[in-house]
């Protein structure tokens, strides 16, 4: 993976602590720290990996931490998009259309392991389950998701849908806050205060109601409890939520920038 990065990109990073209002508040995971096993996109508010052209156009952006195999596939996509942008044979309209097709096509091609590893963490699920969220499928589908129902997409699907709406945007105009909004800004190991038997049951019932579309988060019946409490860096919590369509924290805040080196 490192060799692949070095062949195509010049790599660097920027500390966004106290600079970006979208940065998370869960603790510290500096670039020099060892990698941890977690879900793809965990830490989305604190880590954003941008793939840029030399003049600052965004080819791709991965929020949060990523499993190395899945990261390598996203890196290959960024290189393809770089080739599209640099092609003298394509018009601007054709390049933008190719950008959309490649982003959505890549989401469709993700295997089961990638989608499973890209499941939202429990506290993030409740946060993004509100009416109008692009995490909600227009149709209920047919795949059960461990009691949650089939309503929520996985993060890998949503990020490609969001990128598809941002063809070759300039880095300075890229709305990072909206793009990385995939749940809470702090890791909540107690699931919004639902850490007792009775509270845990009530929380599960509330989340099931959200999944079934009976209530909207924040409404009187939603069971939303105390504000999030930052406790530690993200842990794993995979649960499958495959989807595709055009709809709809933890770690030291840092934004790596990967710039095409050709």
Q: Which of 114, 118, 212 is nearest to 158 (CA)?
A: 118
| CA–CA separation, 145 and 239 (whole Å) | 7
H or E, element range at 10: strand 9-15
**Cβ atoms of residues 32 and 254 within 8 Å:** no
Domain of residue 134 covers 2-260
**Cβ atoms of residues 210 and 145 within 8 Å:** no
The token pair at 130 is 């509100």
Q: Which of 41-55, 72-86, 151-165, 200-214 has the lowest mean pLDDT?
A: 200-214
Average pLDDT estimate for 31-53? 81
Q: Where are the alpha helices (DSSP H) in the chain?
A: 2-8, 68-86, 92-109, 112-117, 122-128, 155-164, 176-179, 197-211
pLDDT value at residue 19? 75
pLDDT value at residue 154? 83
Tens-place pLDDT, residues 133-164? 766 666 654 444 444 445 678 888 889 999 99
Model confidence at 24: pLDDT above 60? yes
| CA–CA separation, 121 and 98 (whole Å) | 32
pLDDT value at residue 134? 67
Which of 193-202, 203-212, 224-233, 243-252 ranks highest by mean pLDDT?
Answer: 203-212
**At 58, phi and psi to the nearest 5?**
-85, 115
| CA–CA separation, 221 and 210 (whole Å) | 9
Model confidence at 42: pLDDT above 50? yes
The token pair at 11 is 């790599």
The token pair at 235 is 């842990």
| CA–CA separation, 47 and 249 (whole Å) | 8
* Residues 6+ positions from 195 with CB-CB distance below 8 Å: none
| CA–CA separation, 191 and 226 (whole Å) | 9
Average pLDDT estimate for 197-214? 44
**Cβ atoms of residues 151 and 136 within 8 Å:** yes
* Residues 6+ positions from 116 with CB-CB distance below 8 Å: 154, 238, 239, 240
**Count of residues in the chain:** 262
* pTM, 2 dp: 0.66
Q: What is the DSSP letter of 136?
A: B
pLDDT value at residue 196? 37
Model confidence at 13: pLDDT above 50? yes
Q: What is the DSSP string of 140-170?
A: --S---TTS-S-BPPHHHHHHHHHHTSTT-B
End-to-end CA separation in angstroms for the chain: 18
Tens-place pLDDT, residues 249-262? 334 455 555 656 54
Average pLDDT estimate for 178-191? 65
Q: Which of 61-65, 70-74, 159-163, 238-242 has the lowest mean pLDDT?
A: 238-242
Total domain count for the chain?
1
Write down the mean pLDDT value for the chain.
70
């Amino acid at each position: 993976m490192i060799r692949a990065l070095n062949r195509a990109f010049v790599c660097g990073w920027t500390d966004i602590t106290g600079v970006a209002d979208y940065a998370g508040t869960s603790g510290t995971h500096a670039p020099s720290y060892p990698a941890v096993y977690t879900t793809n996109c965990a830490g989305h508010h604190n880590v954003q990996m941008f793939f840029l052209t030399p003049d600052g156009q965004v080819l791709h952006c991965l929020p949060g931490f990523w499993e190395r195999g899945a990261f390598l596939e996203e890196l290959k996509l960024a290189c393809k998009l770089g080739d599209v942008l640099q092609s003298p044979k394509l018009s601007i309209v054709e390049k933008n259309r190719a950008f959309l097709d490649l982003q959505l096509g890549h989401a469709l091609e993700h295997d089961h392991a990638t989608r499973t590893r890209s499941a939202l963490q429990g506290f993030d699920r409740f946060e993004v389950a509100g009416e109008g969220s692009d995490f909600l499928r227009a149709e209920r589908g047919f795949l059960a998701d461990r009691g949650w129902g089939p309503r929520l997409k996985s993060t890998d699907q949503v990020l490609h849908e969001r990128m598809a709406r941002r063809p070759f945007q300039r880095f300075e105009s890229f709305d990072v806050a909206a793009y990385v909004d995939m749940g809470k800004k702090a890791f909540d190991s107690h699931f919004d205060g639902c850490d007792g038997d009775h509270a845990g049951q009530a929380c599960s019932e509330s989340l099931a109601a959200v999944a079934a579309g009976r209530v909207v988060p924040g409404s009187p019946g939603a069971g939303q409890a105390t504000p999030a409490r930052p406790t530690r860096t993200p842990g794993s919590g995979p649960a499958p939520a495959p989807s595709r369509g055009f709809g709809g924290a933890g770690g030291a805040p840092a934004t790596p920038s990967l710039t095409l080196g050709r």
